[in-house]
Amino acid sequence: MAKQRVWKNYLVAALSTGFMMLTAATAFADSTELTLDDSIAMALKNNPSMQMALRDQEKAMFGIDEAKAGKLPSLSLGASGTRGDSGLAEIGENYNTSLKLSVPLYTGGQLEGSIDQAKLNASAAQQGVVKTEEQLRLDTTTAYYNVLQTSNLVKVNQATVDSLNEHLKNVQAQYEAGTVAKSDVLRSEVELANAQQNLIKAQNNYDVAVASLNNVIGAPMDTVYIYKDELSYAPYDQTLEESIAMALNKRPEIVQSRYSVEAAKSGVQVAESGRRPSVSLSGAQSWSGPDFPGDNKNWSVGVTANWNVFDSGLTSAKIKQAQTAVDKANEQDRQIRSAIELEVRQAYLSMQEAEKRIETARIAVNKADEDLKIAKVKYSAGAGTNLDVMDAQVGLTQAQTNYTQALYDFNANKAKLAKAVALRVQ
Task: Output the pLDDT for position 17.
Answer: 44
The DSSP symbol for 143 reads: H
Q: Tell me how far apart the alpha carbons of residues 152 and 227 are, in angstroms, rounded to a whole number.
A: 12
Sheet of 278-289, strand order: 74-84, 92-106, 278-289, 296-306
Question: Which residues on adjacent β-strands are paired with residue 20?
Answer: none
Q: How far apart are CA 368 and CA 152, in angstroms?
A: 18
Buried b (16+ CB within 10 A) or exposed e, 110-132: bbbbbbbbbbbbbbbbbbbbbbb
On the question of pLDDT at 332 being above 90, the answer is yes
d(CA 114, CA 327): 19
pLDDT of residue 23: 44
**CB of 121 within 8 A of CB of 263?**
yes
What is the reported pLDDT for 1?
42
pLDDT of residue 194: 96
pLDDT at 413: 96
Q: For residue range 310-327, what is the model confidence (pLDDT) as tens digits?
A: 888 998 999 999 999 999
When pLDDT is averaged across residues 275-280 and rounded to a whole number, the result is 90
Looking at per-residue pLDDT, the higher value among 216 and 306 belongs to: 216
Q: Which fold has domain 31-420?
A: Outer membrane efflux proteins (OEP) (1.20.1600)
Mean pLDDT of the 172-193 span: 92
* Planar angle of CA 22, 28, 31, nearest 5 degrees: 140
Other beta carbons less than 10 A from residue 412's beta carbon: 22
| Neighbour-count burial of 410, counting CB atoms closer than 10 A to its CB (0-12 exposed, 13-18 middle, 19+ buried) | buried
Cβ neighbors of 340 (< 8 A, separation 6 or more) are: 247, 248, 251, 253, 254, 420
| pLDDT digits 0-9 by tens, 68-117 | 998 899 999 988 878 776 555 566 678 888 889 999 988 888 888 899 98
- pLDDT per position as a tens digit, 20-44: 444 444 443 346 999 999 999 999 9
pLDDT at residue 224 in the model: 87
Residues in the chain, overall count: 426
Model pTM score: 0.81
Write down the pLDDT at residue 86: 58
* Measured distance CA(367)–CA(372) in Å, rounded: 9
The rounded mean pLDDT for the chain is: 88
- Confidence (pLDDT) at 386: 92
Q: What pLDDT, on the 0 to 100 scale, is given for residue 91?
A: 67
List the alpha helices (DSSP H) in 179-313. Answer: 182-217, 240-250, 252-272
Amino acid at 96: N
Neighbours of 334 (CB within 10 A): 11
Banded model confidence at residue 124, pLDDT cuts 50, 70, 90? very high
* 202-220 confidence digits (pLDDT tens): 999 999 999 999 999 999 9
Q: What is the DSSP string of 292-354?
A: SS-SEEEEEEEEEEE--S--TTHHHHHHHHHHHHHHHHHHHHHHHHHHHHHHHHHHHHHHHHH
Angle of helix 110-177 versus helix 314-381 axis, rounded to 10:
10
With contact defined as beta carbons under 8 Å apart, do 210 and 222 qualify? no
pLDDT in tens, 382-423: 888 999 999 999 999 999 999 999 999 999 999 999 999 988
Q: What is the pLDDT of residues 186-203, one digit of tens each?
A: 999 999 999 999 999 999
Angle, in degrees to the nearest 10, between helices 240-250 and 252-272: 40
233 has a pLDDT exceeding 70: yes
